[in-house]
């Protein structure tokens, strides 16, 4: 069963509590929280106090996507706030295995994120232990960008590696997901779909969530 993860980057920040409640009523499965530091990506989003406020309002699980250098920095804080999943970019640290284990040691699911240019083979030795792989289908940093089709092969490749070795990691996709690209990604093997601008700009969120589930 495909899960839908609204990216709160596209929510109304002046009415975050209402958007959270409405998206939950619309059938969203997990909230996706984009943390940007202005260093790893050329944008700054929001930080710990906002994550804490979201955690207090939300009743579905939270997935934190770290677009930061030194991704191991605030893992205890996220765990303390009740975050369920934390992903970080393999390009952001020389010690991805250590960061993965750190996240898992706090009882959270650990995800490794691949930028559009990063091949699945670069994380081959993390795949037996990782909980999910997030395939970026845009360059990270901004919502509302166009889906990069060449990333679909990467989803397929990861799905193939998963089947071949019997691994149980999930595949998440993020960037440019709409009714058309959602189906392409799930067919290729993705089970977790992040959607920001498409979902939040839809007139009927319940229908939009259902349509993405296919
Ligand atoms: C981009 C973020 C995404 C973003 C997706 O750096 O990681 O989560 O919010 O937004 P859309 O769905 O608009 O591409
Ligand atoms: Zn994201």
- How far does the centroid of ligand 2 lie from the alpha carbon of residue 145, in Å? 12
3-state DSSP of the chain: CCEEEEEHHHCCHHHHHHHHHHHHHCCCCCEEEEEEECCCCCCECCCHHHHHHHHHHCCCCEEEEEECCCCCCCHHHHHHHCCCEEEEEHHHCCCHHHHHHHHHHCCCEEEEEECCCCCHHHHHHHCCCCCEEEEECCCCCCCCCCCCHHHHHHHHHHHHHHHHHCCCCEEEEECCCCHHHHHHHHHHCCCEEEECHHHHCCCCHHHHHHHHHC
Which value does ipTM take for this structure?
0.99
* 29 belongs to the catalytic site: no
* 34 belongs to the catalytic site: yes
Share of the chain above pLDDT 90, in %: 100
**Tens digit of pLDDT for each residue in 118-150?**
999 999 999 999 999 999 999 999 999 999 999
The mean pLDDT of 192-213, rounded to a whole number, is 98
Ligand nearest to the CA of 64: 2
Quote the pLDDT of residue 204.
98
Residues near ligand 2 ion, CB 5 Å cutoff: 34, 65, 174
**Does residue 63 have its Cβ closer than 6 Å to ligand 1?**
no
Q: Mind listing the domains of the chain with CATH numbers? A: 3-213 (3.20.20.70)
Q: Which residues are annotated as a binding site for a divalent metal cation?
A: 32, 34, 65, 174
Quote the pLDDT of residue 74.
98
The mean pLDDT of 9-27, rounded to a whole number, is 98
pLDDT grade for 13, boundaries at 50, 70 and 90: very high
Atom in ligand 1 nearest the alpha carbon of residue 144: 13
**Does residue 6 have its Cβ closer than 6 Å to ligand 1?**
no
pLDDT grade for 169, boundaries at 50, 70 and 90: very high
Please give the model's pTM, rounded to 2 decimal places.
0.98
Integer Cα distance of 146 and 135 in angstroms: 15
Structural contact between residues 85 and 107, judged by C-beta atoms closer than 8 angstroms: no
Structural contact between residues 4 and 195, judged by C-beta atoms closer than 8 angstroms: yes
Atom in ligand 1 nearest the alpha carbon of residue 175: 14
**Tens digit of pLDDT for each residue in 29-66?**
999 999 999 999 999 999 999 999 999 999 999 999 99
């Amino acid at each position: 069963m495909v899960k839908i993860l609204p990216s709160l980057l596209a929510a109304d920040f002046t009415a975050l509590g209402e958007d959270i409640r409405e998206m939950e009523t619309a059938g969203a499965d997990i909230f996706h929280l984009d943390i940007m530091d202005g260093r790893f990506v050329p944008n700054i989003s929001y930080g710990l106090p906002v994550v804490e406020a979201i955690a207090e309002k939300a009743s579905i699980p939270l997935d934190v996507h770290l677009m930061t250098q030194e991704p191991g920095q605030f893992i205890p804080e996220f765990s303390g706030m009740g975050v369920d999943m934390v992903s970080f970019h393999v390009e952001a640290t020389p010690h991805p295995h250590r960061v993965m284990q750190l996240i898992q040691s706090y009882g959270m699911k650990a995800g490794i994120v691949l930028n559009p240019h990063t091949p699945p083979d670069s994380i081959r030795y993390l795949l037996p232990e990782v909980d999910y792989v997030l395939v970026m289908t845009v360059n990270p940093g901004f919502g509302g960008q166009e889906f990069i089709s060449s990333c679909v092969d990467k989803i397929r490749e990861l799905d193939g590696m998963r089947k071949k070795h019997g691994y149980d990691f999930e595949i998440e996709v993020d960037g440019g997901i709409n009714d058309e690209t959602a189906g392409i990604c799930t067919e290729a093997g993705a089970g977790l779909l992040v959607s920001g601008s498409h979902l939040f700009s839809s007139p009927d969120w319940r229908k939009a969530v259902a349509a993405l589930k296919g």
